[in-house]
Structure 1
């Protein structure tokens, strides 16, 4: 009996800690996104964007061979890659009977993509004129950063939740940060676009996870009541 109670207490404390962390991250990401809106569209400040371009331009001049690697890294949040991933990865997870995870990954990509396009149309910020490669579409927030955060953040969370390879979860987060930096390096996005993309991606990911968790819990309660 004591063992059972201790397990229940441990589980509840974990859920409480998890909920607190999610709320804090959500509020931080939400506040950061609106702060960046103020910086870009109200204050019209370019200080951060100019500084970031200057730093990465200096890096490119020091190591010109890095550009090929940057273009390779940025591909892993490109539209063709994300389209294929949104189909193949959930299909593979479902085939291995991880249906919940498959749905979560699919909605993370598709939902973030739709939200990103809506935000871009609303804010209608033009891309930098100094872009090193041709890139269509609008600039704020960065799609690579936002959808990449949703995808790789979702995968990192799933790895962490299942207690498998937490180091890989951390590496996935660092990977999406690297993808965001490539967008600034190539001058296809401003630094504020990238930071806003990270923030919006986190907001979407937390909202999605919360909604799915509530839905699954209600589904389990409904199925249990039907069995009775």
Structure 2
């Protein structure tokens, strides 16, 4: 678990150095080119991608971030309910703090207007925090491990939709994933220490 935390922190630090110190756009441009080639080859994917990106949007995260904890509490899993609530709320707050600090504008090539700042991606960060937390709960209780893997893959796919739509740079999405893992690790440690008291 420590190695995952360290690797995520190192990735986040590396991305911030590439983007804000070296000011390199080589990686971002290369990934955009790959996604653009795919979009040109299969234009029918675009409306599907726009639909899927909704599942890490603000309206969805508000509903899921409140509704899932309420359901878990009613089903007799209050601790898991708190985990999901704090995963979503904490990652959302951290995301806004980081965006305010880095102040990176969104790509000018976005396929549709998206307000707000770009770094790190909120869809990637809060989406992975939500679905990653749910996946960990399923994995921990040894229920439906395949669903746990699918939830994580779904969160990663949602991050990819942001690049496909050009509303985020690829480095925004990678930084969002790294931030989500960091937050989930900190949250898990907090719950472990609380249970040990």
TM-score band, normalised by shorter chain: over 0.9
Please give the residue correspondences for 1:209-220 in structure 2 after superposition, counting only pairs within 5 Å. 209-218=188-197
Partner of 2:142: 163
Partner of 1:63: 42
Please give the residue correspondences for 1:16-27 in structure 2 after superposition, counting only pairs within 5 Å. 22-27=1-6
Partner of 1:72: 51
Structure 1 residue 216: deviation in Å?
Answer: 2.4
CA distance in 2, matches of 1:85, 1:164: 20
Partner of 2:129: 150
Structure 1 residue 120: deviation in Å?
Answer: 0.1
Partner of 2:15: 36
Greater gyration radius: 1
4+ runs of 1 displaced by more than 6 Å? none
Structure 1 residue 153: deviation in Å?
Answer: 0.6
CA distance in 1, matches of 2:24, 2:137: 38
Partner of 1:90: 69
CA distance in 2, matches of 1:30, 1:148: 18
Partner of 1:106: 85
CA distance in 2, matches of 1:150, 1:210: 15
When the two structures are superposed, what TM-score results if normalisation uses the length of structure 1?
A: 0.86
CA distance in 1, matches of 2:141, 2:169: 36
Gaps of 5+ in 1: 1-21, 219-228
Gaps of 5+ in 2: none
Aligned-partner SS, 1:30: helix
Structure 1 residue 82: deviation in Å?
Answer: 0.1
Q: Which has the higher contact order (CA 8 A, sep 6+)?
A: 2
Aligned-partner SS, 2:173: helix
Q: What whole-Å deviation, never above 9, does each CA across 1:60-115 have from its counterpart, x for those lacking one?
A: 11000100110111000000000011111000000011000000000000000000
Partner of 1:183: 162
CA distance in 2, matches of 1:212, 1:24: 19
CA distance in 2, matches of 1:83, 1:157: 20
Partner of 2:109: 130
Partner of 1:202: 181
Q: What whole-Å deviation, never above 9, does each CA across 1:21-78 have from its counterpart, x for those lacking one?
A: x111100000000000000000111011001110111111100010011011100000
